Structure 1
Amino acid sequence: MTIELGQLAASQSRMIPPHVVADSAILGRIGTLVTRLAAGPSEVRAAQRVRHNVFVEEFGARMTPASASTGYDVDSFDTYCDHLLVLDTSLGGDAEDQIVGTYRLLRQSVAKSHHGFYSTSEFGVADMIARHPQKRFLELGRSCVLPPYRTKRTVELLWQGIWAYALEHGIDVMFGCASFGGCRPEAHALALSFLHHSAAAQGEWAVSALPELYRKMDLMPVEAIRPREALAALPPLVKGYLRLGARFGDGAVIDRAFGTTDVMVVLPRAAISPRYVNYYRADASRFCG
């Protein structure tokens, strides 16, 4: 997450992808929770407020003074990304008051028309993408959920929304940065070494941290790694990616602005575990009732 956080745009309309529609269809529902894309400028702005609450107020991310004073986490990519939301409809107020989780989605076709992908500031994803000219890529990022909602069903709804979105747009590969807390990779030696030895993206899916940012993940010999302990040491999001079938790039990157150690996640749709495809259903109808 090393890219500099931008100042708020002069007008709300500039922060919103032009293809956002007023009535965004519900992609999934569990109880009072629903997932869908942001339906307009005010909902994107509300999602940016949730991101600020999590990244800045809870985890201490550093922002530019102008951005920090607004109470919103904003960067230039927000203007053309889609914003996946989870809302708790049991909360009072408008939809903007009901947002409890969000994910930012950036399709390859959209990235090509603007500033490219966010994660190119940390990882050499361009080489990986160039090896697959016939495939469609989707970058996942800026994921966060408010503390009371960090539960299994919220995560399930987020993935329901991502899966439905990927099917709708014919996405072949999902990728993006995932984070470990803190700027010392050594503090995560067990988990990072496990990913390096047991879940490395190889061959046609190989991707590395940029040379000037590269920090080694191979911090422990393979014989010293106890898989069960390593799995327990993984952040929930990283563990979730791993269970889906994701693989991880070579090298970590320290993001001092966000106070994290980032790794690259690569998840070809064809590699997703059949168990999860069956769970969410091939047509993404699992939670759409």
Structure 2
Amino acid sequence: MAVLLDKGRYRARLAQTEQDVAAAQTLRMLTFATDGQDCDAFDERCAHVLVEDLQAGGALVCCFRMLTMQGGFEIGLSYSAQFYDLSALRDFTGPMVEMGRFCIHPDYNDPDILRVAWGAMTAYVDQKGIEMLFGCSSFAGTETAEYLDAFAMLKHRHLAPRRWLPRVKAPDVFRFAARLRRRPDVKQAMLRMPPLLRTYLMMGGWVSDHAVVDRHMNTLHVFTGLEIGAIPPARKRLLRAVAG
């Protein structure tokens, strides 16, 4: 068993069998409310991380998948490249990991689950020498109205550096950086910000200037990048303390 992290009642490990991957797909189906099992061709190419509740007989409470790349020249093979023009990232020279399909069981709201998941990701990043973490961060539903403060905050504080900025590719997008003129209500913005995206941003992550309207998954998502070398030292120490 490839255990990445054991913390309290939770254990994070890499999937080892087809049954492990099927369990992750089932949790994704439950979380994303898709019709039928949630699976695609990327599952075969990815490593899958499972977070299990040891006090509940090893019940699966969180999962995500990781696609490792040797550098930006492989960015076109990512899941995100279906929705975003990522040609600017072809010049990134270090190893990269795309994190996707992150979900937590809807019956669980323990913040330690997210901490353990990030601790496991930190352990993996350190083991593989990864220099950039990226993926699509999702807001529930496809209506923008309730998230305007969150999008305004992304525009004012967290847009990607120009050299890495993704361009529009999907047919249905919300160009929040161009359209929004409001100043964000910080409290409302943080209330509406998805927990995974909030964690990315706390570590110095950045986002695309538009959100993709994904009606198949019933989400709005923004491309999110995190350069490992740019994580503030205090945050790195905290993550590695969890990972250790």
TM-score by length of 2: 0.91
Instruction: For residue 171 of structure 1, report the CA deviation from its aligned partner.
Output: 0.7
Paired residue type of 2:89 = I
Paired residue type of 1:234 = M
Instruction: For residue 195 of structure 1, report the CA deviation from its aligned partner.
Output: 0.3
Counterpart secondary structure, 1:166 = helix
Alpha-carbon deviations, 1:103-161, whole Å to 9, x = none?
11001149988x81111111112x132121x2111101100111233322100110011
From 175, 180, 184, the equivalent of 1:220 is 180
Distance (Å, rounded) in 1 between the aligned partners of 2:125 and 2:41 = 23
Q: Which moved more, 1:200-209 or 1:44-53?
A: 200-209
Counterpart secondary structure, 1:286 = helix
Distance (Å, rounded) in 2 between the aligned partners of 1:194 and 1:30 = 33
Which residue does the alignment assign to 2:113? 154
Instruction: For residue 27 of structure 1, report the CA deviation from its aligned partner.
Output: 1.5
Which residue does the alignment assign to 1:234? 193
Structure 1 residues 197 and 121: alpha-carbon distance in aligned structure 2, compared to 1, 3 A threshold: same
Counterpart secondary structure, 2:167 = coil
Paired residue type of 1:207 = P
Instruction: For residue 226 of structure 1, report the CA deviation from its aligned partner.
Output: 2.5
Distance (Å, rounded) in 2 between the aligned partners of 1:103 and 1:111 = 21
Structure 1 residues 149 and 211: alpha-carbon distance in aligned structure 2, compared to 1, 3 A threshold: closer
From 55, 60, 65, the equivalent of 1:104 is 65
Equivalent pairs counted in the alignment come to 243
Distance (Å, rounded) in 2 between the aligned partners of 1:209 and 1:277 = 32
Which residue does the alignment assign to 2:85? 124
From 172, 183, 204, the equivalent of 2:163 is 204
From 164, 170, 176, the equivalent of 2:123 is 164
The question of 1:37 aligning with 2:14 is answered yes
Instruction: For residue 228 of structure 1, report the CA deviation from its aligned partner.
Output: 3.0
Which residue does the alignment assign to 2:139? 180
The answer on whether the counterparts of 1:209 and 1:249 sit within 8 Å (CA) in structure 2 is no
The question of 1:86 aligning with 2:83 is answered no
Counterpart secondary structure, 1:147 = coil
Alpha-carbon deviations, 1:238-269, whole Å to 9, x = none?
21211121111111110001111111101000
The answer on whether the counterparts of 1:179 and 1:263 sit within 8 Å (CA) in structure 2 is yes
CA radius of gyration, larger in: 1
Instruction: For residue 203 of structure 1, report the CA deviation from its aligned partner.
Output: 2.3
Which residue does the alignment assign to 1:140? 99
Alpha-carbon deviations, 1:154-205, whole Å to 9, x = none?
0011001111111111110011001112212233211112101211002222
The answer on whether the counterparts of 1:131 and 1:204 sit within 8 Å (CA) in structure 2 is no
> How well do the aligned residues superpose, as a CA RMSD in angstroms?
2.3
Q: Percent identity of the aligned residues?
A: 28
TM-score by length of 1: 0.78
The answer on whether the counterparts of 1:252 and 1:263 sit within 8 Å (CA) in structure 2 is yes
Paired residue type of 1:184 = E
Instruction: For residue 82 of structure 1, report the CA deviation from its aligned partner.
Output: 0.3
Which residue does the alignment assign to 1:9? none
The question of 1:254 aligning with 2:213 is answered yes
Which residue does the alignment assign to 1:74? 39
- Normalized per residue, which structure has more strand? 2
Instruction: For residue 44 of structure 1, report the CA deviation from its aligned partner.
Output: 0.9
The answer on whether the counterparts of 1:185 and 1:217 sit within 8 Å (CA) in structure 2 is no
Counterpart secondary structure, 1:83 = strand
Q: Which moved more, 1:168-177 or 1:200-209?
A: 200-209
Distance (Å, rounded) in 1 between the aligned partners of 2:12 and 2:197 = 21
Mind listing any 5+ residue stretches in structure 2 that lack a counterpart?
none
Distance (Å, rounded) in 2 between the aligned partners of 1:271 and 1:110 = 17
